[in-house]
Amino acid sequence: MRLSVIGGITVLLAGCSIHDVENPFTVTTNANGKPTIWQCALVKMATPTEYACPDGKTYTASQLREFRLSTDEPTVTNK
């Protein structure tokens, strides 16, 4: 039993270490200037999941995904 638990943990850690994912603590904003999910805090765990981001806005998980996949140029607004 103990050996299988240790083996499972080893496989999990090995899988995480070889996966090509950026470190979430060093991820910068998207090319379009929108925040990434790593920079936001979970505020509503329901459907749809919502995140509060450092730009003062709340986004759904789908919106953050679209920001990440979008290749639009950054939009500059004057406030």
Residue 22: what pLDDT? 58
pLDDT one-digit tens code per residue, 51-75: 999 889 999 999 988 888 876 655 5
pLDDT one-digit tens code per residue, 8-52: 777 666 655 555 555 555 556 677 778 888 889 999 888 889 999
pTM exceeds 0.75? no
Residue 46: what pLDDT? 86
**Which residue, chain included where needed, has tokens 């995480």?**
16
Instruction: Give the separation between CA 79 and CA 4, rounded to whole angstroms.
Output: 58
State how far the alpha carbon of 21 is from the alpha carbons of 54, 55, 76, in Å.
Answer: 22, 24, 29
Give ∠ CA 70-26-67 in degrees, rounded to 5: 15
